[in-house]
Amino acid sequence: VPGLNDLAISAGKRYFGSATDNPELNDTTYTSILENYAMFGQITPGNSMKWYATEPEPGVFTFTAGNVIADLAKSNGMVLRGHNCVWYEELPDWVTANNYNATELAAIVANHTGTLVGYYAGQMYAWDVINEPLNDNGTMREDVFYDTLGDSYISIALKAARAADPNVKLYINDYNIEYVGTKSTAMQNLIKQLQADDVPIDGVGLESHFIVGEVPTTIVENMQAFAALGLEFAITELDIRMELPATADLYEQQKTDYYTVVSACMQVEQCVGITVWDWTDKYSWVPSTFPGYGDACPWDSNDMLAHQNYERKPAFDGIAIAL
């Protein structure tokens, strides 16, 4: 069976990839599957390039953990996606605790983004410069950045990123923008505004954290709307969770759902690639974030009592058939 990345590349995409995180890399069975380029041609650091991990104290940058992921990509010839520069979550306390004024926070956002993007310049395919800026109703999320700087924080970060690496693709990444609706329209309007203002923006990340049986039906139409804006996009954090316990029927529905999402990307040229938010249930963020849900990934766990040993689930076949 050809690997998913091989299939994606033969089909004209740039990559099929996965998120990964530093603690998992001690698991040699895990890494032997992750480091198979035929299967995964791209990785995204799940946590180790976030703000808390890279600038834990003002002006003090640490890239040690991020470098482990970057080096893994380099030694396997994988595409690397940077994640992320500016996000309201997983911030170190100092960003919110100091009540910075607009001038101070603008400099902090520009310095954080510019230093991070500059450090990895030449190694990254793309950066999620802005992560999750919108509320589900389409308004701007009222986080520390918006409350202090209004929507100018977005252009401040994008311009700093462009100045630090002229070649990397600059993305805005969000969820619930994968289907036709208020939030997707708001993201399209944000992109249009940035384009009108000559702010650098190259791509949109469609996170794609879905629920089995509830995958949206307007994914292709929605992708075409983004394509019409003249930029690329990617499926950046795909997983499809189910209410536990898993059943054979849920596994079959999950296969159909993975097929639906991956084939949508195949149908729209500007969809450059697909990243699953880790490939195995063992290291999925889902069970801890959505109590009662799990089994969201295309490979199972390695729980011997449950007779699981990183086996491919029907979901894997759904992806492979779509590619």
Enumerate residues 69-98 that contact ligand XIL by CB under 6 A. Answer: none
Q: How far is CA 143 from CA 31, 91, 104, 150, in A?
A: 36, 11, 16, 10
Whether residue 89 lies in the annotated active site: no
Residue 113 contacts ligand XIL per CB under 6 A? no
Written in H, E and C, the secondary structure of 122-168 is CCCCEEEEEECCECCCCCECCCHHHHHHCCHHHHHHHHHHHHHCCCC
Our CB check for ligand XIL shows the closer of 284 and 320 to be 284
Residue 131 contacts ligand XIL per CB under 6 A? yes
Q: How far is the CB of 290 from ligand XIL (least distance, A)?
A: 11
Site track for ligand XIL across 42-61, x = CB under 6 A: ----xx--------------
Whether residue 178 lies in the annotated active site: no
Enumerate residues 202-261 that contact ligand XIL by CB under 6 A. Answer: 207, 237
By Cβ distance, which residue is nearest to ligand XIL? 285
In the beta sheet, which residues pair with residue 204? 172, 233
Residue 273 contacts ligand XIL per CB under 6 A? no
Q: Which among 322, 304, 300 has a CA at the least distance from the CA of 33?
A: 300
Residue 20 contacts ligand XIL per CB under 6 A? no
Q: Out of 55, 178, 232, 237, pick the active-site residue.
A: 237
Our CB check for ligand XIL shows the closer of 143 and 207 to be 207
Q: Which residues bind ligand XIL (CB under 6 A)?
A: 46-47, 131, 207, 237, 285
Which residue numbers are catalytic? 132, 237
